[in-house]
Amino acid sequence: MEPRGPGALVRDRRPASKGPGVRISLTLSLPSAPSTLPFVRHLTAAALGELGVAPSSIDDVALALTEAVANVVKHAGADAGYEVRLVLDDHVCEICVADRGRGFDPALIGTAMAPPGAERGRGMALMAAVVDSVCFESQPADGTVVRLVKDLELRRDGLLDRLLR
């Protein structure tokens, strides 16, 4: 049974929209400072909310983005700076967080959850748990790119839902 009403959630699996499609892009270039993390998270959540993305999808994107940016702030170095690029293609959200920091070997970290009581080591596992795809690209002295992809649930009659009909 299909959900109905303004608050209903829908995971849109249509092969193509009837309209011309929607592509929205937002790029932020910021210093690697802890104070930028809430700004990035709130701006992204507010934009997705205005577009009519379901709260559960907004929460997942916000959590994964928070973890990716927290890693930049903690590990890239104070002078590294970073960029967040959010691209929405219809109901698929892709976020790339790129820094110009020291880089690391992703194979040494993995995406397994840290044991209880560990002070660190949960970020990559959390990102992998809440998005459909996560990819880490990093080279020592070249920086890191974290690519997150999430198929968004839309609120019935939200802006994106209406534009994609």
- Domain boundaries along the sequence of the chain: 22-163
- Do residues 126 and 148 touch, judged by C-beta distance below 8 A? no
Mean pLDDT estimate for the chain = 82
Strand order across the beta sheet in which 133-139 lies: 23-30, 82-89, 92-99, 143-151, 133-139
Q: What is the pLDDT of residue 109?
A: 61
- Quick check: 124 and 130 in contact, CB under 8 A? no
**What pLDDT shows up at residue 95?**
96
Task: Tell me the pTM.
Answer: 0.79
* 5 Rama class: left (phi>0) / alpha (psi -120 to 50) / beta: left
Percent of the chain at pLDDT exceeding 90: 55
- What one-letter code names the amino acid at 90? D
Does CATH number 3.30.565.10 belong to domain 22-163? Answer: yes
pLDDT above 70 as % of the chain: 76
Phi, psi of 58 (to 5 degrees): -60, -45
List Cα–Cα distances, 157 to 16, 29, 50, 86, in angstroms.
18, 33, 12, 23
pLDDT tens digits for range 83-125:
999 999 999 999 999 998 877 766 666 555 455 555 556 778 8
